[in-house]
Amino acid sequence: MEKQFLIAGFGGQGVLLIGQLIAKAAMREEYEVSWMPSYGPEMRGGEANCAVVISDEEIGSPLVTEPPVLVAMNRPSLAKFMPKMAPGGILLYNASLIEDVELRDDVTVIPVPCNQIAEELGNQRTANMVMLGAVLGATQFVSADSLKETLREWLGEKRAAMLDINWQAIERGQALNA
């Protein structure tokens, strides 16, 4: 078994964190994992993406050149990476920021209203967690329990109060694929 993900968006949207949490949750379940970030020199607003590979065997390469799972948090990322997707893949995109685009018909397309759901939850910063939940729902890359424990560990004691709102966002995203 091998699962590959490419997660892309603007710096500040939490795309690298989505990838880190996918990788750490898979490590919790004892999979082999690679996480390879790529970002421009800008702190926020520049392009950011990461490739994640999860496998039950040794990983030959961390590169994801034809992503079977693409997560696009903004329009430029969708335009850049959608043509490179493997046919039959899964495309999840932030439908709150990406509208009126021509999408491929040889992949499963899942529009995720990340920002809208985050606003409904009262915390705009959870938009990336909504998308993480949608990825979990679409790919079942790990169990929900593993992901929750990984999130709890990542937040640590100082930010433990943020677990509930972030987990609510993940559950809302996951429910989109139920």
Which structural domains are found in the chain, ordered by start? 2-175 (3.40.920.10)
For residue 44, the model assigns a pLDDT of: 64
For residue 107, the model assigns a pLDDT of: 97
Report the C-alpha gap between 77 and 73 in whole angstroms: 7
- What tens-digit pLDDT sequence spans the chain (178 residues)? 899 999 999 988 999 999 999 999 999 999 999 999 997 765 566 789 999 999 999 998 889 999 999 999 999 999 999 999 999 999 999 999 999 899 999 999 999 999 999 999 999 999 999 999 999 999 999 999 999 999 999 888 777 778 889 999 999 999 997 6
Report the C-alpha gap between 117 and 172 in whole angstroms: 8
Whose CA is closest to 137, among 92, 77, 87?
A: 92
For residue 178, the model assigns a pLDDT of: 61
What b/e readout covers 51-62, taking b as 16+ CB neighbours within 10 angstroms?
bbbbbeeeeeee
Strands 90-94 and 108-112: parallel
